[in-house]
Amino acid sequence: MQAEKQPRKQDKIMNRNKRSQNMKRHRIPFNRPSFAGSELDYISEAIANGHISGDGPFTKRCQAILEEVLSCHKALLVTSCTHALEMAAMLLDLQLGDEVIVPSFAYVSTVNAFVLRGARPLFIDIRRDTLNMDETQLERLITPRTRAIVPVHYAGVGCEMDTILEIAGRHGIAVVEDNALGLFGKYRGKHLGTFGCLAAQSFHETKGVICGEGGALLINDPDYIARAEIIREKGTDRSRFFRGEVDKYTWIDLGSSFLPSDLLAAFLCAQLEAGNTIQEKRKRIWEYYRRHLDGWAAERGVRLPQVPPHCEQPYHMFYILLPSLRTRQALIKHLLARSILSVFHYLPLHLSEMGKRFGGRKGDCPLTEEISDRLLRLPFFNDLTEEDQASVVEAIVDFTWD
Ligand SMILES: Cc1ncc(COP(=O)(O)O)c(C=O)c1O
């Protein structure tokens, strides 16, 4: 008689994860970390390797995958996208009073990383179609002190990089892409994250490819590689020492500890290797929402995401734009009553406490202010089932307002 197949340790942990998530407040959560399959095996391998600090074999494997798949000069794994942005700001040698143009419709780290170095943020509004930086407003914000433009590829849909690069090039300004949401996305056939001299990726658990907390700095201008290695290693030339290029390592420059443990890199490696499968799942989820909400949205004056034909999106999220703040809040409540968690973001940065300290006032970025009130993100994670998606859709189309 054949022995009954023992459930794998990984499957047991995954089921426990689902059960404990389900016991949390929502029947359908907004996000649940999903597993590719070999995470635990790889973590065991990292332990067996005897190298669990940074820059071990799995870190190198992850970096090689990113460099190959995205075609970038150099990828350095770091502890978060926030830290990748902070490294970018250090690499640009920003000085007190330098200016950086950032969208107001963005995450705190997008701007904070540059403010930490003494830069002054100038907030730019967004386009109505993609909710990306409105590149037509760039020229009027540029001054002799502008050192960087930071496009955020919202929902992984590419910003208008041709125009942004042309303007930045003409004024000698660096472009740093915040590609936290755009891994595997493309603009005119080229991967997001490979346009600016530097770009930042996120592997936070709310993203498609994850390791809990993690990120990568993509370096497209090779002149930044040597210094980036130093900044990432506490301001020392330890990377060169480990490669045998110097016989001791010492303090060379500014820096901090931006390396993730190889245990996290092992987790990430499993996810990166399953990149295609993850993308297929996310595409299926995104298309399901679009297919089942199209008619309802058109009827009720709700807008669904728009992806220009020259952009390939990585299916990072599905959002809807309700007619007003009141309907958005009412829909959140309506979904919560069915134990479905939907969320919104971003709060306009120019109107935040810090934003106001830099002179931000109501009306500076009118579209950001409007969209921030109307946008709602639906549950979206790799293992979201069609059954749960059907419940979400059913709850949404049941929602009425006058
Ligand atoms: C546009 C953007 N940039 C940066 C980040 C920060 O990413 P991390 O949590 O990896 O630091 C986020 C977080 O979601 C984000 O949305």
pLDDT score of 18: 57
Burial class (CB in 10 A: 0-12, 13-18, 19+), 309: exposed
Q: Which amino acid is at 164?
A: I
What is the per-residue pLDDT across 332-343, written as a single tens digit (0 to 9) for each?
999 999 999 999
Length of the chain: 402
User: Smallest Cα–Cα separation from 399: which of 319, 317, 338, 318?
Assistant: 338
* pLDDT band with cut points at 50, 70 and 90 for residue 15: low
103 lines ligand 1 (CB under 6 A): no
How does DSSP assign 338-349, residue by residue? TTB--B--PPPG
80 lines ligand 1 (CB under 6 A): yes
148 touches 173 (CB < 8 A): yes
Distance CA 169, CA 157 (A): 22
271-275: long-range pairs with CB below 8 Å, 24+: 271/36, 271/39, 271/203, 271/209, 271/210, 271/211, 272/62, 272/65, 272/66, 272/209, 273/36, 273/38, 273/65, 274/36, 274/37, 274/38, 275/65, 275/69, 275/184, 275/209
What is the per-residue pLDDT across 76-116, written as a single tens digit (0 to 9) for each?
999 999 999 999 999 999 999 999 999 999 999 999 999 99
What is the per-residue pLDDT across 207-263, written as a single tens digit (0 to 9) for each?
999 999 999 999 999 999 999 999 999 999 999 999 999 999 999 999 999 999 999
User: Smallest Cα–Cα separation from 360: which of 348, 347, 375, 372?
Assistant: 348
Query: How far does residue 124's CA lie from ligand 1's centre (Å)?
Result: 18
CA 386, 312, 200: angle at the middle one, nearest 5? 100
* pLDDT band with cut points at 50, 70 and 90 for residue 401: confident
Question: Would you say residue 2 has pLDDT above 80?
Answer: no
Atom of ligand 1 nearest to the CA of 213: 10
What is the per-residue pLDDT across 280-316, written as a single tens digit (0 to 9) for each?
999 999 999 999 999 999 999 999 999 999 999 999 9
Distance CA 165, CA 173 (A): 9
Query: How far does residue 108's CA lie from ligand 1's centre (Å)?
Result: 8
Q: Residue 186: CB partners within 8 Å, gap ≥ 6?
A: 158, 192, 311, 312
Beta-bridge partners for 152: 178
Mean pLDDT, the chain, integer: 95
129 touches 308 (CB < 8 A): yes
Residue the block writes with tokens 């006058």: 402
Atom of ligand 1 nearest to the CA of 214: 10
Query: How far does residue 99's CA lie from ligand 1's centre (Å)?
Result: 21
86 lines ligand 1 (CB under 6 A): no
pLDDT score of 24: 61
Q: And the tokens for 10?
A: 């990984």
Ligand 1, atom 16: closest residue by C-alpha: 107
Query: How far does residue 133's CA lie from ligand 1's centre (Å)?
Result: 16
